[in-house]
């Protein structure tokens, strides 16, 4: 990769680069999906090739699996790994309790399975992903294709009964056809505006027939690494209640991403 990164990509890159330092020799690591997670995978590939880091990665999508193999990471399945030391992934939104909305890229199902099979989940994000209350980002819900319109109607009825502010939903499209996830399902995006009780909503949505999983990650994330375009990185740990700040030497980092 060559050339100047946009400010948002710089922020994503520094968050990913800092989080990559949490990966140690011998670990089994869940590898997230999305543009921020792609930076992580590239950074880890660099560390494997240049520094001899030895770890095994469990990708959360076919996209991430392809990129991981391309950059030289040893890829194993979740069934081979059984349990992971750590998962590092992006997010569409995170709040002060480190609850998340994920699934903007359609990978929420594998991401949730992998994250919950990990000792620790670290989210990497640019600062724009932080919100006071989840819900401005449309909440992705994965549904099986059979009878998806019935599932959608049931979800909308449920939202009315829960008195949720926004109640409409849309089928995610890929051009003229419905978007299809790695598991062969569709995604309904719920336009809620503001989510009151994320825990309750996450549980209730999964009881609707046809719903496979939703993009609310409640009590799953342990740490968030927030990147800024000027190289600053803030790490918040929900368990330890700590916030640490440092700065990546951006000149050094620029050399790194140019080599990726």
The answer to whether the CB of 107 falls within 8 A of the CB of 30 is no
CB of 25 to ligand R5P, least distance (A): 26
Question: What's the rounded Cα separation, in Å, for the pair 108 and 255?
Answer: 33
- For residue 238, the SS3 value is coil
Tokens matching residue 232: 């600053």
- Residue of minimal CB distance from ligand R5P? 34
Query: Among the options 46, 50, 93, 111, which is catalytic?
Result: 111
Is 175 a known ligand-binding residue? no
Residues in touch with ligand R5P (CB under 6 A) = 32-37, 89-92, 102-108, 111
- Parallel/antiparallel/unpaired status of strands 232-237 and 242-247: antiparallel
Closest approach, Cβ 183 to ligand R5P, in A, equals 12
Q: Which is nearer to ligand R5P, 46 or 92 (CB)?
A: 92
Q: Do the annotations mark residue 193 as ligand-binding?
A: no
Nearest-approach distance from CB 52 to ligand R5P, in angstroms: 28
Do the annotations mark residue 96 as ligand-binding? Answer: no
**Does 104 show up as a binding residue in the annotation?**
yes
Distance CA 113, CA 68 (A): 19
Which residue lies nearer to ligand R5P by CB, 63 or 154? Answer: 63
State the number of CA atoms in the 13 A half-sphere of 113 facing the CB: 15
Residue 16 beta carbon to ligand R5P: minimum distance, rounded to whole angstroms? 9
Strand runs labelled E in the chain:
28-31, 56-59, 74-75, 86-89, 93-94, 100-101, 121-126, 139-143, 168-171, 173-174, 177-178, 186-191, 211-214, 216-217, 223-227, 232-237, 242-247
DSSP symbol at 127: G
> Is 241 annotated in some ligand binding site?
no
Residue 112 C-beta: closest distance to ligand R5P, Å: 9
46 annotated active-site? no
**Of 36 and 154, which has the nearer Cβ to ligand R5P?**
36
243: three-class secondary structure by DSSP = strand
Q: Among residues 14 and 154, whose Cβ is nearest to ligand R5P? A: 14
Pick 38 or 256: Cβ nearer ligand R5P: 38
Give the helix ranges, DSSP H, for 74-143.
78-81, 108-116
Whether residue 231 is annotated as binding a ligand: the answer is: no
Residues belonging to the active site: 111
Name the binding residues for substrate.
33-36, 89-92, 102-105, 129
Name the binding residues.
33-36, 89-92, 102-105, 129
């Amino acid at each position: 990769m060559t050339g100047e990164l946009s400010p948002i990509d710089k922020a994503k890159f520094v968050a990913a680069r800092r989080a990559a330092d949490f990966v140690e020799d011998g670990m089994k690591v869940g590898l997230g999906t999305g543009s921020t997670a792609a930076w992580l995978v590239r950074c880890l590939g660099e560390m494997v090739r240049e520094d001899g880091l030895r770890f095994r990665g469990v990708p959360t999508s076919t996209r991430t699996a392809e990129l991981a193999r391309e950059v030289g990471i040893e890829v194993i399945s979740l069934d081979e790994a059984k349990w992971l030391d750590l998962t590092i992934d992006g997010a569409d939104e995170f709040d002060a309790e480190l609850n998340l909305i994920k699934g903007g890229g359609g990978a929420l199902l594998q991401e949730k399975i992998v994250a919950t099979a990990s000792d620790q989940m670290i989210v990497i994000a640019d600062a724009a992903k932080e919100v006071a209350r989840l819900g401005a980002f449309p909440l992705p819900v994965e549904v099986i294709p059979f009878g998806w319109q019935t599932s959608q109607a049931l979800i909308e009825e449920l939202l009315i009964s829960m008195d949720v502010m926004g109640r409409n939903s849309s089928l995610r499209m890929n051009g003229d056809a419905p978007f299809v996830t790695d598991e062969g399902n569709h995604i309904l995006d719920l336009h809620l505006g503001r989510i009151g009780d994320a825990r309750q909503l996450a549980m209730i949505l999964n009881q609707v027939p046809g719903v496979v999983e939703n993009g609310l990650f409640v009590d799953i994330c342990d740490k968030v690494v927030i990147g800024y375009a000027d190289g600053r990185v803030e790490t918040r740990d929900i368990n330890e209640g700590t916030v640490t700040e440092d700065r990546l030497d951006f000149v050094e980092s620029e050399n790194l991403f140019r080599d990726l």
